Structure 1
Amino acid sequence: MEFTEDVVQDTFIKAYTKLETFRGQSSFKSWLFKIGLNTAKNKLRSQRVGQLNLEKVHLSHGSKVENRIYHSNVKSQILQAIERLPQKQKEAIYLRIFEDLSFKEIADLMESPYDTAKANYRHGLMKLKNSLSRNDVLEDWYDLTEEIRIIPKIAL
């Protein structure tokens, strides 16, 4: 939680000090989110964290021990598979699934065309599907989309 709070605080400080640079080419929300995304990336880079801290990811539901173990294992494998994706695909998946942004907002943040943002997301999902089905993590595509929905929002 400390990482997230630091990023949010740094983001608002940077946005406040750079408010005069906001040109209105995109929405204020997109501009602020881009600052936050870059702040988080820089903070991770400076801490030399290459992987998601999976210990900070909490189970979102399920009370039975078997259920927790299963979901914890699947969640861990999904997050590791996401981490192995190319950067653009990883960002598109994170922004779409975890931040619930539209493809237009994703395109604005990634400074790419709408169709490219959509393609990065789609190609990332297909790579996840292939990676996870090769490892027998999930039986079919439906399972993947359902499992991704149970992963709580995490800070990159």
Structure 2
Amino acid sequence: MMYNINVDTFVAGLIFLTITQLKVLKYKLNNLKINSNELRYSKEFQENLQMLKLKQCLGHYNKIIMFQANIQEISSITLFVVFGMASAIICVTLCGFYLSRELVFAAYSCDWINRCQKFKRSIVILMEHANTPLKMIGMKMFLLSLDTFITIVKSAFSLVTLIRSFQDVEDGS
């Protein structure tokens, strides 16, 4: 079964577009200076020119805000459903795996002591098999488990921290 990732990638693309526009605006604001060509004009003209550039930046910022609001309006329900379903899938999967571990205790708890030798051997075999919990492997590479989920969350947090530190260094220069 293939998973439809169109909505996820489309919304991520729109958010990326918003981030890119914010970077463009940041560049414009950082370079909102009087350049050497403008020095030959009067002080009043220079100030008017800077105000015009600032108004253009403010207009750009308003367009970014409106674009982000449109994205929010269009995709809020979709994002809620996507994140909700992803969380539900993770919870159901992990609960199922933990329940599979409880089979050993359930088999041991049955009335096996007074049964025949064949029944006892079958219970032992069942318990040995149930000792190995059921596993789901994504793309035949990634084990879906609580440990994998925690590793993914930690990696995502580390990546966000790394990106923010690069942004802080970039802002400082």
TM-score, normalization: structure 1?
0.26
More helix by share: 2
**Comparing both chains, which one has the higher relative contact order based on Cα–Cα distances under 8 Å and sequence gaps of 6 or more?**
1
TM-score, normalization: structure 2?
0.24
